[in-house]
Amino acid sequence: MAPAVSYWRVRILVTNDDGVHAPGLAAVTRALARWADMAPAGEDRQVVVVAPLANHSGASAAVGTVYERDAIAYRTVVIEGAEEVPTYGLDASPALSVIVGALGAFGPRPDLVVSGINLGVNVGRSVLHSGTVGAVLTGAQLGLRGLAVSLRSGGAVDHWDTASALAVRLVPALSEAPPQSVWNLNVPSVAPGELRGVRPGRISTAGIIKSASERVHLEPSGEAGEGSVRLTLGAAVPSLGDVGDEAPEDDGALVAAGFASLTPLVGVRADASSQTRSALDAALAALGVPG
């Protein structure tokens, strides 16, 4: 009797928040296409791109005004160097792109979502607002594993090849991770040989907005009219900024030190901690409702 032939299939949906024409998306798509072409016997590797037509940076997991329309317009796109990869640019946010892709709009249901490569890091509290991260968290809500990939910006050269290579190397391990696993990868913009390694990164307390101050514009009558709020950006902006107050194991500090930071994330779910349950029971008791 012939031995059973092992078979492994993975279908990857690629998206981003910089738009379907962004160089980071093209770079990771080309890398994944090469990886798919090198599949050994017994493996089926598929890649499809479903990404926004326009920039949706900072969109988090927003889907937009979906109740005001019953269809989503899209265009087919060709990525140079990955012409064989089906690519669709949607009039949609990153999260909505993942949703329609996961629900079968552009072929079979994917197994993984790879989001990026974003130009600029997504570290600290900025992960809450990132469209790159929001896309993979949305995929997790649909049962998919996901990898968000971001590259530090601001240097003379954007080393997409370094981040692309790391993303491809992580795909097999992520495929074997528990369902709904989400990993956030932030990579310094250095040549592959200059990367100091990959470290588990802790989400720092750095935020996008460091301070906000009101500037009131007075009408000629002396009454307050329209105003504006001046924003001071903190360390968790795409170019990273000052991370001097971060611990060495924090995500931003790792990237600044030349390491890639890999952080597992968890999306929206019910809080089952005992402390929260006690507080909830007390609230229900105060309302006269049995806990």
Secondary structure E strands in 21-60: 43-52
Task: Say how many C-beta atoms besides its own lie within 10 A of residue 175's C-beta.
Answer: 15
Looking at residue 75, its pLDDT comes to 97
Residues whose CB is less than 8 angstroms from the CB of residue 136 and which lie 6 or more positions away in sequence, other chains included:
98, 113, 115, 146, 147, 148, 182, 184, 265
CATH class given for the domain over 8-202+242-265: alpha beta
Q: What is the pLDDT of residue 45?
A: 95
For residue 1, the model assigns a pLDDT of 45
pLDDT at site 155: 80
Provide the strand spans (E) within 1-126.
Answer: 8-15, 43-52, 74-76, 87-90, 112-119
Give mean pLDDT in consecutive 10-residue pieces for the chain, a chain of 291 residues.
58 97 98 96 94 93 88 97 98 97 96 96 91 97 97 90 98 95 97 96 77 60 66 56 73 93 92 91 89 57
Q: Determine the pLDDT at residue 215.
A: 64
Domain boundaries, given as residue ranges, for the chain: 8-202+242-265
Describe the crossing of helices 160-176 and 23-37 by its angle, rounded to 10 degrees.
Answer: 50
pLDDT at 93: 97
Q: Burial letters for 55-79: b for 16+ Cβ neighbours within 10 Å, e otherwise?
A: ebbebbbbbeeeeeeeebebeebeb
- Token pair of 136, please? 């993979």
Q: By C-alpha distance, which of 74, 76, 77, 80 is closest to 23?
A: 80
Measured from the Cβ of residue 257, the count of other Cβ atoms closer than 10 Å reads 13
Cβ atoms of 173 and 198 closer than 8 Å: no
pLDDT at residue number 212:
64
